[in-house]
Amino acid sequence: MPNWNKDTFIEDMRKNCSREIAKIGVSIIDFAEKNGDELSWGRGNDHGTLTYRCGSDIGSVPLFHMTSNGQLNLQINFMRSKEIPPMVLRDMVIKLESNFLRDYNEIDYPSDIFEPMDEMFHTQSQVDKFIKTMEGCTYRLKQ
């Protein structure tokens, strides 16, 4: 399946993930379609990939990647390497740390990795807070 789209991505996610994770994935896709400046779908054969990007003064910035096998990659360290306003990045990191009860500082989170969504999201509140965090970051980067 060389070119992914929303329908093939969701179909593959429903096949490879639990119903709860697939539902979370659909919520994130819906958010991404409404708020993202640029969504790109992967071209791999094993699983689909969605990249969410938003516009900023430095150009299009990816905030996260999601795979159809239920993984999420937060682009925190990538954004640290760009000229993102420190207040935007700090706000995003603080909100993600409190939501997922993890440390995303440069020592404990030295590289952006794909993490299983079933280990990140345990409640609908966490999904909602993640989406609100990405929405806030998108809004602030566009200012």
Task: Identify which of 76, 13, 1 has the alpha carbon closest to the alpha carbon of residue 46.
Answer: 1
| Domain boundary assignment for the chain | 6-142
- What distance in Å separates the CA atoms of residue 25 and residue 22, rounded to the nearest whole number? 5
> pLDDT at position 54, please?
92
- What distance in Å separates the CA atoms of residue 66 and residue 72, rounded to the nearest whole number? 5
> pLDDT at position 1, please?
42
- What distance in Å separates the CA atoms of residue 79 and residue 60, rounded to the nearest whole number? 11
> pLDDT at position 2, please?
55
Ranges under pLDDT 70 in the chain: 1-2
Task: Identify which of 56, 108, 100 has the alpha carbon closest to the alpha carbon of residue 79.
Answer: 56
Q: Give the global pTM.
A: 0.91
